[in-house]
């Protein structure tokens, strides 16, 4: 835990606006990662080459959408402006989304989907494990529930990484290409900004630098056992991150599709 900001000095002037805003941002990041990735994975439903795997990926998608619902609902409650999880999911614009860019990338082939999923799943396990001990009891409860699912997800995606990497020449080549293409999106997962610093200082969020080392070790262990390779270091992040609303073109298309029904019938209760 070295390197993080020190515990804030006690003050007789509390800053109530600052803490809730950072918490809302932080919850949106957790929710949006899962909402967007859940939607991406659901695009596989009924399109995979193997029924069983189709069902497995769709189950992961549903878990992620369920987690997104919980995180976004809490974000709406903390925000206190009357937006529920549906308003947050269906009536925000691209620039208001706080997901990392990794999760919004188009599915590509099955190997690409699996590599992206594995990188995210390991991130989810280490982050949710830390958050299950968060000083915010509601967040800790959601994290603990989600962690159980994430542990199953990473076992699934990790086994596929091993199978594809150590499989046929084509499967090996395809998933290696996927990791090569995805690697530059991974630094964003651990790039701490003022929101993360505020969460760490408040005892709500984890020390991302410490988690990144754990993540890196877990990822490399599986990738090497799969006879695949990764660059030694992650590249620096170029420009603004998805955490601040900077997204690839792909997110706009995804949201257009995801939001069309709700926006066509605003306020519809049926």
Tell me if 261 contacts a copy of itself by CB under 8 A. yes
Tell me if 54 contacts a copy of itself by CB under 8 A. yes
Tell me if 46 contacts a copy of itself by CB under 8 A. yes
> Nearest Cα to 230, choosing from 188, 184, 167?
184
| Degrees, nearest 5: CA angle 210-212-213 | 70
Nearest distance, CB of residue 233 and a copy of itself, angstroms: 29
C-alpha 167 chain-centroid distance: 28
Q: Confirm if 5 and 197 have CB atoms less than 8 A apart.
A: yes
Tell me if 62 contacts a copy of itself by CB under 8 A. yes
Q: Confirm if 89 and 254 have CB atoms less than 8 A apart.
A: no
Of residues 86 through 105, those in contact with a copy of itself by CB under 8 A are 86, 89-90
Count Cβ atoms within 10 A of the Cβ of residue 2 and give its class: 0-12 exposed, 13-18 middle, 19 or more buried: exposed
Tell me if 82 contacts a copy of itself by CB under 8 A. no
Other beta carbons within 10 angstroms of residue 98's beta carbon come to 25
Among 49-57, 97-105, 144-152, 182-190, the segment contacting a copy of itself (CB under 8 A)? 49-57
- From 4, 19, 21, 66, residue interacting with a copy of itself (rule: CB under 8 A): 66
Quote the tokens at residue 227: 């006879």
C-alpha–C-alpha distance, residues 73 and 76, integer Å:
5
Of residues 170 through 209, those in contact with a copy of itself by CB under 8 A are 170-171, 174
Question: Site for a copy of itself (CB under 8 A): how many residues?
Answer: 45
Quote the tokens at residue 9: 């000095």
Nearest distance, CB of residue 227 and a copy of itself, angstroms: 14
Q: Confirm if 125 and 171 have CB atoms less than 8 A apart.
A: no
Largest CA distance in the chain: 65
C-alpha–C-alpha distance, residues 22 and 4, integer Å:
17
Tell me if 167 contacts a copy of itself by CB under 8 A. yes
Tell me if 38 contacts a copy of itself by CB under 8 A. yes
Tell me if 249 contacts a copy of itself by CB under 8 A. no
Nearer to a copy of itself, 59 or 191 (CB): 59
The residues that touch a copy of itself, with contacts defined as CB under 8 A, are 38-39, 42-43, 45-52, 54-55, 58-59, 61-62, 65-66, 68-69, 72, 85-86, 89-90, 110-111, 163-164, 167-168, 170-171, 174, 257-258, 260-262, 265, 268-270
């Amino acid at each position: 835990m070295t390197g993080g900001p020190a515990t804030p000095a006690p003050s007789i002037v509390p800053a109530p606006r600052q803490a809730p805003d950072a918490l809302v941002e932080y919850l949106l990041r957790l929710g949006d990662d899962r909402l967007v990735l859940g939607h991406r994975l659901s695009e596989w439903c009924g399109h995979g080459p193997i029924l069983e795997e189709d069902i497995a990926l769709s189950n992961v998608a549903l878990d992620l959408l369920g987690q997104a619902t919980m995180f976004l609902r809490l974000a709406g409650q903390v925000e206190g402006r009357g937006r529920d999880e549906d308003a947050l999911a269906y009536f925000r614009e691209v620039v208001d989304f706080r997901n990392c860019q990794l999760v919004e990338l188009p599915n590509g082939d099955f190997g690409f989907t699996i590599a992206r999923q594995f990188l995210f799943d390991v991130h989810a396990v280490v982050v949710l494990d830390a958050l299950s001990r968060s000083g915010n009891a509601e967040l800790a409860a959601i994290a603990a529930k989600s962690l159980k699912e994430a542990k199953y997800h990473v076992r699934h995606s990790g086994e596929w990484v091993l199978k594809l990497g150590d499989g046929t020449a084509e499967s090996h080549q395809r998933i290696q290409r996927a990791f090569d293409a995805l690697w530059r999106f991974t630094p964003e997962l651990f790039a701490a900004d003022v929101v993360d610093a505020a969460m760490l200082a408040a005892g709500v969020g984890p020390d991302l630098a410490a988690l990144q080392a754990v993540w890196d070790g877990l990822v490399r262990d599986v990738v090497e056992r799969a006879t695949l390779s990764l660059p030694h270091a992650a590249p620096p992040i170029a420009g603004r991150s998805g955490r601040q609303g900077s997204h690839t073109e792909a997110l706009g298309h995804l949201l257009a599709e995801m939001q069309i029904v709700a926006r066509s019938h605003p306020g519809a209760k049926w």
